[in-house]
Amino acid sequence: MADADHTDVRLFRMPEVSLAGSVPLAPLLRARFEPDLGMELDGARFVLTFHQIATQIDVLDGVPVLINLYPWRSHVTVRIEVAGRLVLQHPFAVRDAIAGPLQRELARQDPAVTHWGYEIVALGDVPRPAARSRRRNRIEELPDPPLPVAALADFGVDDPPGLAATAVTVVLAAPVAAALDALGGPVELGGLLFGQVYADAAGPDRQIVHVGELAAVRGGAATATSFTFPAGAFLGIDHADRGRRLVGWYHTHVADEGDLRLSPADVVLHTGSFRRPWQVALLAGPVRDGRAVRAYSLTGGRLTRVPVHTAAGKPA
Ligand SMILES: [Zn+2]
């Protein structure tokens, strides 16, 4: 249980998930429940009991879009007492009881911002090292053995000169590139990427991620604008099999208005479940002059676009 007077909503700028500040919860609850109850709630006591019901990303559409970065608190039983008298005790979706009034407040205060992430933090919460460190789909971060060394030339790829070096360069096996090009349909499709990771001979702290295989995930929630993995999608993946590492995930966008880029929900999914620096997100979809595949990896906590090539051969 948490007292609303000791509970804050932390706000994050999206898609980079950088902490922007926090707002107290009690005024939001007063604004939300005063019209329903037809009374002033200035001296009221709010007692909140959070429940986990949602297991998927919890997004409130509208302006601005609000993304619950702590979906274990997806529902809340709100108990309101006025002068010691119980006036309301009822469960609500966090999206309704908290994100709704927050959305109206943010639209007024910061109309230029289109997407916010938020999480509810109560006094006495065990501090969490990172905003999403308890995501259930998180892949365990085991210490890595030394990586085999390779150069882009080993894959038959010419390293284009003059481009800024990125930590990760993606090389798609030719059949993977062809399969990504052929994906399409009325809703987003997606799945997991398997392959191998190499230390890039071009420089220290750089890696080449070779994607050898796409594994489509069925049963995920997919619409024209979003893709989420079903619960259990990551179970049974054998990390000890060094010839077949989980190197990331892929999905398609159906309509992107000519500017193919990850959505805030995609960023949340990646930063929650694919935390290794060499795990990549591949995004396939329409661009102005056809179709394209884009690749992204986490660099310094941000999802950054990285180069993607198609292999003309296999490393020796
Ligand atoms: Zn997407």
HEC readout, the chain: CEEHHHEEEEEEECCCCEEEEEEEHHHHHHHHHHHHHCCCCCCCEEEEEEECCCCCCEEECCCCEEEECCCCCCEEEEEEEECCEEEEEEEEEHHHHHHHHHHHHHHHHCCCCCEEEEEEEECCCCCCCCCCCCCCCCCCCCCCCCCCEECHHHHCCCCCCCCCCCCEEEEECHHHHHHHHHCCCCCCCEEEEEEEEEEECCCCCCEEEEEEEEEECCCCEECCCCEECCCCCCCCCCCCCCCCEEEEEEEECCCCCCCCCCCHHHHHHHHHHCCCCCCEEEEEEEECCEEEEEEEEEECCEEEEECEEECCCCCC
| Distance (Å) from CA 67 to ligand 1 centroid | 14
Count of structural domains within the chain: 2
- If asked whether residues 83 and 218 sit together in one domain, one would say no
Task: Say if residue 38's pLDDT is above 80.
Answer: yes
pLDDT band at 96 (very low <50, low <70, confident <90, very high): confident
Question: What is the mean predicted confidence (pLDDT) over 199-204?
Answer: 89
| Distance (Å) from CA 174 to ligand 1 centroid | 23
| Distance (Å) from CA 228 to ligand 1 centroid | 9
Residue 82 maps to a domain? yes
| Distance (Å) from CA 128 to ligand 1 centroid | 27
pLDDT band at 21 (very low <50, low <70, confident <90, very high): confident
| Distance (Å) from CA 269 to ligand 1 centroid | 9
pLDDT band at 124 (very low <50, low <70, confident <90, very high): low
Question: What is the mean predicted confidence (pLDDT) over 140-169?
Answer: 77
- If asked whether residues 158 and 254 sit together in one domain, one would say yes
290: left (phi over 0), alpha (psi -120 to 50) or beta: left
- If asked whether residues 156 and 287 sit together in one domain, one would say yes
Q: Which of 102-111, 129-138, 287-296 has the lowest mean pLDDT?
A: 129-138
| Distance (Å) from CA 190 to ligand 1 centroid | 9
| Distance (Å) from CA 219 to ligand 1 centroid | 16
Residue 216 belongs to domain spanning: 149-310
- If asked whether residues 174 and 285 sit together in one domain, one would say yes
What's the pLDDT score for residue 188? 61
Residue 57 maps to a domain? yes
* Among candidate residues 107, 122, 137, the one where a domain is terminated: 122
**Matching residue, tokens 């799945």:** 191
Q: Which tens digits make up the pLDDT trace of 261-308?
A: 888 778 887 887 777 889 999 999 888 888 899 999 998 878 899 999
193 contacts: CB under 8 Å, gap ≥ 6: 211, 213, 214, 215, 246, 247, 248, 249, 250, 280, 282
Q: Which of 115-124, 170-179, 183-192 has the lowest mean pLDDT?
A: 183-192
| Distance (Å) from CA 227 to ligand 1 centroid | 6
| Distance (Å) from CA 117 to ligand 1 centroid | 16
Output the average pLDDT for the chain. Answer: 79
| Distance (Å) from CA 127 to ligand 1 centroid | 30
Question: What is the mean predicted confidence (pLDDT) over 234-240?
Answer: 45
Q: Domain with 180 in it: what CATH number?
A: 3.40.140.10
- If asked whether residues 285 and 179 sit together in one domain, one would say yes
Residue 132 maps to a domain? no
Question: What is the mean predicted confidence (pLDDT) over 75-80?
Answer: 86
pLDDT band at 172 (very low <50, low <70, confident <90, very high): very high
- If asked whether residues 173 and 283 sit together in one domain, one would say yes
| Distance (Å) from CA 283 to ligand 1 centroid | 7
| Distance (Å) from CA 225 to ligand 1 centroid | 6
Task: Say if residue 214's pLDDT is above 80.
Answer: yes
Q: Which amino acid is at 152?
A: L
| Distance (Å) from CA 253 to ligand 1 centroid | 6
Give me the percent of the chain exceeding a pLDDT of 70: 75
- If asked whether residues 107 and 50 sit together in one domain, one would say yes
